[in-house]
Structures are given as structure tokens and as C-alpha cells.
Structure 1
Amino acid sequence: MKWFRKQTAPAGASVQLRETGYHPFGLLGQYVPMRSGEIRLYRAVREAVPVVDAAIYKLIRMVGGVTAACSDPAAERGLGEFLRTVPAGRGQYGVDAFLEGYLDALLTCGRAIGEIVPAAGNREIAAVLWGRVEDIEIREGDHPLAFTICGPDEQGRMGPLPCQDLLLFTPLNPEADSPYGVSLLRGLPFLTDILMKIYHTIGINWERCGSLRFAVTCRDDGNGQAEERSRMLAGEWSRAMQDTRSGSVRDFVAVGDVDIQVIGADAPVLDSEVPVRQILEQVVAKTGIPPFMLGLSWSSTERMSSQQADMLTTEITAIRRTITPVVERICRLWLRMHGYTCGFEVLWEDINLQDEVEDARAALYLEQARKLRLENDAAEAAAFHTRREV
């Protein structure tokens, strides 16, 4: 007698990968920003729109140079020579050259990274360099004051860099939920995409106007030779166009009902002045620079008003406040390496945005006010002595 073992159904395995319900916009909560890709996007914006590139360079130049004043004259002379001659990499010298590259990354990428390189023996600063922000990451600590700058090691893995005290890091307008700053160009990629579409369309239209396409229509007159005539017309038309490209002039003669039209000649070309100006207005508003300084003649006057000068001065002062701690760290380290314990102050060049005539007129008004003040003081003193004698 043959016995059959009763087969039991296998137990169901628990599924490890499963789908959960999300609302239609649930992907927005799972979005992880690609920081390096965002930086490449901002650099592409600068390359595609010359106005943006010119605005950033003008902001960097208007920030101006920097010096330092010390209570000790010897320390001030040595520190000034160091700030003027310190190597900044890539054939550049001086802290001003370092700040130009540092500011370029700060405004474009929203953050900047630099490094103080000590010489052998740690008695001198050999160089002050700026680096690629794409190669670093920021790891926040237990409290807002603690963060670590990480970079790739020999195996390409991200890890804390060894000498954190020698690294310089500055975010531009950082947000509360991220240690990374905000680029000056945030919000412009969308407008840049529209602007590039307009420019590309203009180029295609001009290419079409410069290289015309023709439609040659040969109508049948009833004798059944339309096909043969069309082949003959096509050959003659092709030879005529080839001779035209070589610079010679050749007439085209056809017999019968032949109609020649330019393809697309009746299509109107859209006016691009208004949309391009609207987009450029948004770009100029983002940079904070008056339009005429970027080559845009939108008004009847090219003089900078006092309100525009004040606003631009405020923008430059804000940028200076952002990078002043970096200069202070460099100066402080140099002074301590050379045994100076005196205090110092970082001094920026004066911001000059007005005409020389306006500056001279302002100086004249100040001198006139000073003269009147001295005359009034002298008259009051004489009257006081007269009353006292009486």
C-alpha cells in the first residue's frame, strides 16, 4: 500500500520592497538636490548670458582692494607687504587676487572655499589659495556652531579634511535648513532657458532669411508631359542655385504654367524686443547693478542717480561684510606667526560711484560750510568778550 504525504502550502514570504501611498506631489519631498550639478548649471548661465557674466565681474571689481591698519607700525608695514605679495596660485599674487577668485565662487556658487598654506616650520604663510567648491561637503555637528569641511581622500571617499583651522569657508546668505549658501544666480536658470529659446529662434529665422528655400510648382497643361517637365525644371533650378552659390548670376527660364515662391516668406517674424527686455529686467534686478553699467540703454540719461548709487553702495558693503572675516583670519594668523599681539583693523578702499565733478562740488560745499562755521564761532567769541568787558 502506497502512502502519500500530504503536501502543505508554502508559507508566504514577507515582501521587503513595497510601494506606499503618496499624494500626487510626493516626489517633491524625496528630492535630493545635486549640488555639483546646480553649480554647473549656474556656470552655464554665466556662459550663456554675457550680461550675467559682466554683472558678476563688475561686482567683484567694485568691491575693491583691502589693507590692514595695526597699532604697531612695524607690524603694519610687514602685514601690508604680506597682503601685497602673498602667492595666490595660478600666477597671481596678493590678497586682492585671492579675493577675486574667492568672490567669483561665492557669487556664482553661493559658497567659497579657501586654504591658508603655511611654510615649513610654521613661521610664515606660503600661500593663500581658493579651491573648487564642487570638491567639498559640509557636515553639521551637534549644534549650529559646529561643522566639518570634508573632501575626497586618495580612494575618492569623502572624509573630514585634516587641518580645519587652515580652511576658509564662506556661505552667501545661508538658509536655516542648510549650511550651504544661496547663489546670486538662483532663479535665473528658468529665465535663461526662455531667453536662449528666443535667441535660438532668432538665429534660425535669420538663417532661413539668408538661405532661402523655394517651392517650384509646375502645373499640368493637359498634354501629359508634366512629369518630364518637372524633372527638367528641377535639374535647371538646381544648376542655377549652384551657380548662385559660386558667385555667378544665372537666369532661369521656364515654359508653361510655373509658379515659384519662397518657402516661409509669408510667415511673420515675432517681435523679440519686449520679451527680451522683460527677462533682462529680471536679470538686472537680481544683480542690483544699474542697466547702463551693463550696456543696456533703457533710459534717456546715462547718469547714475543718487538713489542708484546708494543702493549699489549698500550691495557692495554687504558683500564686504561677508568676506571681511576671511581677511581677518588671514591677517590674525600672520601676526601671530610673527609674534605680534597688537590689534588690527581691516580697511577697504573707498567706494567711488559718482562723477569727479560731483565729488568736487561736494568738497566745495563742505569747505564753504566749514568756513561759515569758523566765522560764526569767531563772531560769537568776539560778542562774548564784548559783553564780558561791558
Structure 2
Amino acid sequence: MGLFQKKEPGGGGLAVQLREGGRHPFGALDGYVPLRHGEIAIYRAIREAVPIVDAAIWKLIRLTGGVTVTCRDKKAQDGLDWFLQHVNTGRGQRGLQSFLDCYLDSMLTCGRAVGEIVPDRRRTDIAALLCGNVADIEIKEGDSPLEFAIWGRDPGGMMRRLPRQELLLFTPFQPETDSPYGVSLLRSMPFLTEILLKIYQATGMNWERMGNLRFAVVYRPGDTPMDQALVQERSRQIAREWSAAMQAGKDGSVRDFVAVGDVDIKVIGADNQVLDSEVPVRQILEQLVARTGIPPFLLGLTWSSTERMSTQQADMMTSEITAIRRALEPVVERICELWLRLHGYDSRVEVDWQDINLQDLVEEARAQLYWEQARSLEMDNDAREKGESV
């Protein structure tokens, strides 16, 4: 009779739980394959996901600023200066510099920037300078490399040539020979950014698991028939009392856990070692920062650097800013030339940029001081020689 009787299950696990692998919130970076023009959404996600990249671009924008324009007609200089300081640039912004900040932000992030000069109703003055969305335009090249047109979508959703091309501004950033769209500053970053986000995501999940402790309560029944018969009941009782003790701890009270028999309590994950992420994270950040051209110490990175090395990095950054300014000069010249022609003045202008940093001013002032000291000593020597000769 007992040969065919089904035995009761022992004290095994009642359920199996599968944990979710977890993914970082910037899923657009997963599986990204670099294409010819890249994806603007990818580049904006990189800036949102990696604060140091976003900070580097904003520093480039701020360091590039500071432009002054000089025209040949002295009568027009006051009006031109007032226009550059007060022209409407949309969204509550005024001044040419606010337009250039938005224009340069698009150029560095997307690889190209597009803007529009908006004349007033009487066509006698410039009413506003506006930046456009580069995702809404296409470039159509003509028969020669000097001819191109900007196309946009009409109300029906079809691409068409935009009117008044002379009022549109377009600047590609480091354009290649086979493409008029330019290259984004972030083009080489998606692959490394995806690895960096995986490291951060895994680190966060590990700290969430080990910071919020999980416990494994193991009950080992004895060899007596009584213990074998009460395995299920004692397991449920231990689980209930353990849950009550943990809940009491959340409420701020202390409650002891008492169990009968061989009970072992361990912290889940306490014996596992968290991988050291300092070296791989630094290697990736070095690649990302090198692409921006910003010295690491300007971004708050305390990497080993000598005074001589910092000076060389600052000089290299100066050359990077100068190259970016050269790309913006045609836009500034076109805006000012059109304003001067609308007001009947000579349209020839000269664009000047402010000094990039104060280091050059300090060095120039120090050199001027040394020159004045040498000149003073020379004059004293001359006076002393004349006195001796008399």
C-alpha cells in the first residue's frame, strides 16, 4: 500500500525569481551604427547622458564668444553697434551674441547650423535673427561646387526650395569632400558613450542591491521524524517572523528574531566583489575629452598635470577656439553687410574677436612691465654717464 503512495515534497524552494537585466535610460545609443551623417537624436542623447561632454561644449561656446565689428563709415558705426547689441533673436533673447551661441551649439552638436535673417515689413532694416532646426532642412548642390540651395518642407510635407536664399544662413562644421552637411563634434562618441553608460548602469544596480541589503534565511531540519514532519510549517513560521522583524526595523523599532533549530542567516551579495570602474571610466573619459579639445583641468578633472603641460594644453585650446571663430566669421560678415546695405552705407566690415583668456593679457602686461623697467634703467644710465662727463 505504501509502495505507490506519493511522497510529500521536502523543504525545497517554492518559487524561482528571474531578475531583470536592467538598461540605462538612453536606449537610443544601444546598437547604434555610425552612418554617413549620423543621427541628431543620438548626439543630443550623448549630451544629456554624459554631463562632461555637455559641459565641454558649453565651455567652447562661452570661450568662442566676444565679437566686435568695425565698418569703414564712421557715421554707421554707432548704429551698427546698437544693432548688434539689441537685435531680436527670439525667445526673449537680444543681441548678436545670443544668436551666435545658439547657432554654434547647433553647429557643434549636429555638425551644421542654419539661421535666417528676418527683414522688417518695409524691407529697410533687419527685424530679427533666428536659428532653425537642422533636421528640417536639406542641402541640394548645383552643377558646380559653388552652388547649393537650402530646401525645407512645405505645408503639405513635401520638400521644396526655400525662397529668399540670400536671407538664409548655413554653416557646416568641418565639412568633408563628399558631403555638404559637415561633421558633428560628437560623431566618434556613440560607441564609447554606450560602454560608459553600461558601466554607470551596472554600478548603480550593484549599489542598489548591496546598499539595500537582502537576506537569505536557511533552515536545516534535524534528523528526527518530528523535525521532518514539521519542515513546511516551521519554514512558513520563520518567514513570517523574519518579515515582521524587518518591517519593525522600517518603522524605527528594534525587534529580535528568535528561531528554533539550525537557522543560518546571510546577506545576499556580501561575498561578491564589485568591479573597479575607475580605470575603464577614466580611459573612456580621456577619449571623450580629447575630442572636445578642452583641457581636463577646465572640466574639473584632477588628472596628473604639470604646470608646463597645462600651459601647452591652454595654447592648443586657443588654436581650437580660433578655428571655430573662423567658421563663424562669414555669418557675422553677411549679417553686418546686409544691415549696412539696407541703410545705404559701405558694406565692407572687419570682424574682431576678444581675447580668449586672461593668460595672454597677463603675459603681455608682464612683457610691457619688463620693457618699461629696461627703458628706465637705460635712461638712468644715460643720465649718469652725462653727469660724469660734465
Say yes or no: TM over 0.5. yes
Distance 1:123 1:337 in 2: 6
**Which deviations, in whole Å up to 9, do the C-alpha atoms of 1:33-70 show, x marking residues without a partner?**
485x7101000000000000000000000012211112
Query: Cα distance, 1:362 vs. partner?
Result: 3.2
Is residue 2:347 matched to residue 1:346?
A: no
Query: Cα distance, 1:300 vs. partner?
Result: 5.9
1:356–1:196 Cα change, 3 Å: same
Distance 2:113 2:61 in 1: 14
* SS of residue paired to 1:305: helix
Matches within 5 A, 1:117-266: 117-222=118-223, 223=226, 224=228, 225-266=230-271
* SS of residue paired to 1:296: coil
Paired AA for residue 321 in structure 1: R
Distance 1:202 1:195 in 2: 11
* SS of residue paired to 2:216: strand
Query: Cα distance, 1:350 vs. partner?
Result: 1.6
Distance 2:316 2:152 in 1: 38
Distance 1:180 1:370 in 2: 55
More deviation, 113-122/216-225: 216-225
1:352–1:363 Cα change, 3 Å: farther
Paired AA for residue 118 in structure 2: V
Is residue 2:77 matched to residue 1:66?
A: no
Paired AA for residue 249 in structure 1: V
Structure-2 residue corresponding to 1:21: none
* SS of residue paired to 1:216: strand
Q: Is the contact between residue 72 and residue 346 of structure 2 (CA under 8 Å) also seen in structure 1?
A: no
Q: Is the contact between residue 309 and residue 353 of structure 1 (CA under 8 Å) also seen in structure 2?
A: no
1:336–1:70 Cα change, 3 Å: same
Distance 2:186 2:350 in 1: 32
- Give unpaired runs (5+ residues) of structure 1: 1-30, 383-390
**Which deviations, in whole Å up to 9, do the C-alpha atoms of 1:212-244 show, x marking residues without a partner?**
111111112023122211111011011111111
Structure-2 residue corresponding to 1:16: none
The TM-score, its normalising length taken from structure 1, stands at 0.84
Structure-2 residue corresponding to 1:108: 109
Structure-1 residue corresponding to 2:294: 289
Distance 1:271 1:355 in 2: 41
Distance 2:98 2:356 in 1: 18
Query: Cα distance, 1:355 vs. partner?
Result: 8.1
Query: Cα distance, 1:366 vs. partner?
Result: 4.0
**Which deviations, in whole Å up to 9, do the C-alpha atoms of 1:130-181 show, x marking residues without a partner?**
1111111111111111111011101011111011110000000001111111
Distance 1:32 1:356 in 2: 43
Structure-2 residue corresponding to 1:89: 90
Matches within 5 A, 1:325-344: 325-341=330-346, 343-344=348-349
1:111–1:317 Cα change, 3 Å: same
Is residue 2:324 matched to residue 1:319?
A: yes
Equivalences, count = 349
* SS of residue paired to 2:39: helix
Query: Cα distance, 1:365 vs. partner?
Result: 2.6
Query: Equivalent pairs: percent with the same residue?
Result: 66
* SS of residue paired to 1:253: coil
1:342–1:226 Cα change, 3 Å: closer
1:70–1:193 Cα change, 3 Å: same
* SS of residue paired to 2:169: strand
Query: Cα distance, 1:343 vs. partner?
Result: 2.7
Structure-1 residue corresponding to 2:278: 273
1:142–1:342 Cα change, 3 Å: closer
Distance 2:163 2:379 in 1: 63
Distance 1:213 1:374 in 2: 84
Q: Is the contact between residue 309 and residue 354 of structure 1 (CA under 8 Å) also seen in structure 2?
A: no
Q: Is the contact between residue 87 and residue 94 of structure 2 (CA under 8 Å) also seen in structure 1?
A: yes
Distance 1:282 1:32 in 2: 17
More deviation, 293-302/75-84: 293-302
**Which deviations, in whole Å up to 9, do the C-alpha atoms of 1:172-201 show, x marking residues without a partner?**
000111111100111111111111111111
The TM-score, its normalising length taken from structure 2, stands at 0.84
Paired AA for residue 250 in structure 2: R
- Give unpaired runs (5+ residues) of structure 2: 1-32
Distance 1:243 1:201 in 2: 31
1:201–1:345 Cα change, 3 Å: same
Paired AA for residue 62 in structure 1: L
* SS of residue paired to 2:183: coil
1:314–1:34 Cα change, 3 Å: closer
Distance 1:197 1:113 in 2: 34
Q: Is the contact between residue 140 and residue 150 of structure 2 (CA under 8 Å) also seen in structure 1?
A: yes
1:142–1:370 Cα change, 3 Å: farther
Distance 2:372 2:60 in 1: 33
Query: Cα distance, 1:353 vs. partner?
Result: 4.4
Structure-1 residue corresponding to 2:16: none
